[in-house]
Amino acid sequence: MRSVTRAGPILLILSLFPVAGYAQEGGLEVLEGETLYQEGWLFTLSDTFTRQSRLFEGEKEVRDSLDRVRMDHRLTSSVNYGALPDLTLTALLPFVYRTLESDAGDAETSGIGDVTLVAKYRIFRTTAHRASDNLAALLGLELPTGSDTETENGARLPMTLQPGSGSWDPFAGLAATFERDRWKFNGVWLYQLNTEGGQDYKFGDELVLDLAVGNRFWIEKYPGPSASGTFGLRWKHEFRARQDGDGVTNTGGDTISARLSFVFHPRPVWDIVATLEVPLYHRVNGTQLVDDFSLFIAIGFRI
């Protein structure tokens, strides 16, 4: 579904701004070095909300004469299965809802997004008393299951407003997790290759480096509740998008962000997670709207 009011053709230009974040984050524990136990299941439901209202030119914030505000919700259901002790398989199905408000008019789109499939294989593990080290390789693929043909007045909306990309997008990465007593350290490297999709549009490839440290500050006797907090830093580089083989001017750049996470386990089988991510630095190509913040909320159940 979608609706557009006032100045539809102008909105096609106004909405050419990407939204940061990546699909693999829709689930829990996907980007960690640890794997599920064999034949174990983890089901999750999450919502990622991102707001953009600041206009940047290079590294400098500039005035937006059209007062644009973009808001994205990504509701994701995921299934994780421990196929082997060292192999976890994950499928993520998102529903996307996007709005763009501006003095020139408003736009809205919604629909099923692109399904993501992930295989995580643990290639190294050591354990000791109250300590463990894990290193895993990730391989995955985003499938073009979301619509990329939403229209207004007979014209397609731009790809950055479509629920889907229309492209097959593989990715690969490494995730390392080290635990010492109540402390947990996690590092992720991830590269996603985006291919050409709808409207001959190719979203820019993405490179992500992520470091985080967490502490289990509350642990009750099993099966009692527990809680932990995590602080992380992330650098994301997005390459310039291309359309009809030519570079798209106002796309690509670098973002450094910080995030705070809180995880609560009322029982060992339940996970409740809340994460707030706030950008610290932007450097964009051309002129782009950038993230104000991103809020991630999720609940998981294990069997």
Q: What is the mean pLDDT of the chain?
A: 92
Residue 6 pLDDT > 60, yes or no? Answer: no
- pLDDT for res 18: 58
- pLDDT for res 7: 43
- pLDDT for res 22: 61
- pLDDT for res 158: 87
SS (H, E, C) the chain: CEEEECCHHHHHHHCCCCCCCCHHHHCCCCCCCCCCCCCCEEEEEEEEEEEEEEEEECCEEECCCCCCEEEEEEEEEEEEEEEECCEEEEEEEEEEEEEEEECCEEEEEEEECCCEEEEEEEEEEEEECCEEEEEEEEEEEECCCCCCCCEECCEECCHHHCCCCCCCEEEEEEEEEEEECCEEEEEEEEEECCCCCHHHEECCCEEEEEEEEEEEEEECCCCCCEEEEEEEEEEEEECCCEECCEECCCCCEEEEEEEEEEEEECCCCEEEEEEEEEEEEEEECCEEEEEEEEEEEEEEEEC
Distances (CA, A) of 22 to 33, 116, 160, 261, 276: 18, 10, 14, 17, 15
Mean pLDDT over 6-21 rounds to 50
For 57-73, the pLDDT digits (tens) are 999 999 999 999 999 99
Per-residue confidence at 21, pLDDT binned at 50, 70, 90?
A: low
Per-residue confidence at 106, pLDDT binned at 50, 70, 90?
A: confident
For 217-261, the pLDDT digits (tens) are 999 999 999 999 999 999 999 999 999 989 999 999 999 999 999
- pLDDT for res 12: 47
The β-bridge partners of 99 are 71, 108
For 204-214, the pLDDT digits (tens) are 999 999 999 99
pTM value is: 0.92
Q: Does the structural domain 2-302 have CATH classification 1.10.1040.10? A: no
For 275-296, the pLDDT digits (tens) are 999 999 999 999 999 999 999 9
